[in-house]
């Protein structure tokens, strides 16, 4: 059964969603991310993906207070990303209650630092962020594209001990046009033991079922919830979240 991970993206302390990572295409859905997190927990979800979009843009964590409120008011296992660039940032995230962190840009720009964190905190607390645009890994809040190709990038860090990867197809993100199932199948064919978290484009329960049928271990989804495309009670009945 695919692991279901609802998402909360934060700008200015509010729950928002972007389209294709474009900060100019921002929709504010709720003023209180912590309230949204409590609602997810009440529906039976065990895990939550939180992104500090201000942090991703500013290159340092900005919304640690929001993270702390979510983790103090729920028992959700929170993975947190956005703006984690230094030892101080990653320590801030864990001190604020994150059980896991998602790190992408540093794995491109400073591999030694990323591997040091992997060794220090362990593979179960580190998620490699692999956000893809035109086949290349994108960094710094998706504002820059690197020269890294996806599969070799993953291989390098799987060999270093990474077991969890969050992969977003940027062209799909926030579009409600369906996820990049073929891309995720390609990744799983290359690395079948990887705990791959698919992200981007989920428009409804049928998309989640398609990812499940394709053998994708986990999925993050957000905009489809806030736009009313997914009935969370129905989702909880038909696709019970894993612990």
Which residues are catalytically annotated? 9, 131
Cβ-Cβ contacts under 8 Å for 9 (sequence gap 6 or more): 15, 16, 17, 18, 50, 51, 53, 222
What value, to the nearest 5°, has the Cα angle with vertex 206 and ends 45 and 101?
40
Which residues fall within 8 angstroms of residue 112, CB to CB, at 6 or more apart?
none
Nearest Cα residue to 96 out of 88, 85, 104, 105: 88
Give me the torsion for CA of 204, 208, 211, 212, rounded to 10°: -150
Specify the long-range contacts of residues 15-19, CB closer than 8 Å, at least 24 apart. Answer: 15/226, 16/53, 17/174, 17/222, 17/223, 17/226, 18/53, 18/173, 18/174, 19/173, 19/174, 19/175
Distance, CA of 46 to CA of 184 (rounded, Å): 23
CA distance 118 to 79: 15
Q: Are 170 and 180 a contacting pair, CB within 8 Å?
A: no
């Amino acid at each position: 059964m695919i692991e279901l991970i609802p998402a909360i993206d934060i700008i200015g302390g509010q729950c928002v969603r972007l389209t294709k990572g474009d900060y100019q295409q921002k929709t504010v859905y709720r003023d209180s991310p912590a309230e949204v997190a409590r609602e997810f927990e009440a529906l039976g979800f065990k895990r939550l993906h939180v992104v500090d979009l201000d942090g991703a843009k500013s290159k340092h964590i900005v919304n640690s207070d929001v993270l702390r409120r979510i983790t103090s008011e729920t028992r959700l296992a929170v993975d947190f990303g956005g703006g984690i660039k230094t030892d101080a940032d990653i320590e801030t995230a864990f001190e604020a209650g994150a059980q896991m962190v998602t790190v992408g840009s540093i794995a491109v720009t400073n591999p030694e630092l990323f591997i040091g964190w992997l060794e220090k905190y362990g593979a179960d607390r580190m998620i490699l962020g692999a956000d893809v645009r035109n086949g290349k890994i994108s960094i710094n809040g998706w504002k820059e594209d690197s020269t890294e190709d996806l599969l070799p990038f993953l291989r390098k860090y799987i060999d270093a001990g990474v077991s969890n990867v969050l992969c977003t197809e940027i062209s799909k993100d926030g579009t409600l046009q369906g996820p990049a199932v073929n891309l995720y199948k390609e990744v799983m064919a290359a690395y079948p033991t990887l705990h791959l978290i698919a992200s981007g484009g989920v428009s409804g329960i049928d998309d989640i079922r398609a990812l499940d049928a394709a053998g994708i271990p986990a999925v993050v989804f957000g905009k489809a919830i806030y736009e009313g495309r997914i009935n969370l009670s129905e989702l909880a009945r038909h696709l019970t979240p894993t612990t």
